[in-house]
């Protein structure tokens, strides 16, 4: 993995730190994902970049926790509530979702 040193205005640095904390990520993980998202938006052929960044963030999280990637993933997933998602967060083809209530997009 390559390394990059960047200089940020203090206000942006503070904002990135707050957002990373809210997401449960290190600043490095947050910035890596942000860069991958931007590259993916600018270069349609670079969708693999975001997936690779997600994999790298997962591995970095595991390393920071002193866990294997599987252990880190399990401990993160274990934090999810043990309840069904609200209807608006479900896919239309999910069991239990009333398709009549799901708005149909207008024809193009």
Per-residue model confidence (pLDDT) at position 107: 59
Distance CA 25, CA 55 (A): 13
Q: What is the pLDDT of residue 20?
A: 92
Collect all residues with Cβ–Cβ distance below 8 Å to 82 and sequence separation of at least 6. Answer: none
Positive/negative CA dihedral, 14, 15, 18, 21: negative
Show contacts of 53-57: CB within 8 Å, 24+ apart: 56/1, 56/32, 57/25, 57/29, 57/32, 57/33
pLDDT at 95: 58
pTM above 0.85, yes or no: no
pLDDT tens-place string over residues 32-77: 888 888 887 788 766 667 778 788 888 888 888 899 989 988 988 8
pLDDT of residue 85: 81
Contact 62, 77 (CB under 8 A): no
User: Most distant CA pair in the chain: distance in Å?
Assistant: 52
């Amino acid at each position: 993995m390559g390394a990059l040193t960047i200089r940020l205005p203090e206000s942006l640095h503070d904002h990135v730190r707050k957002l990373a904390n809210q997401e449960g990520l290190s600043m490095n993980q947050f910035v890596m994902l942000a860069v991958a998202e931007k590259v993916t938006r600018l270069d349609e052929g670079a969708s693999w970049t975001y997936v690779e960044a997600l994999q790298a963030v997962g591995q970095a999280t595991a390393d920071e926790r002193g866990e294997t990637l599987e252990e880190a993933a399990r401990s993160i997933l274990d934090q999810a509530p043990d309840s069904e998602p609200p209807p608006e967060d479900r896919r239309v083809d999910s069991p239990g979702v009333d398709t009549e209530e799901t708005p149909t997009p207008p024809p193009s």
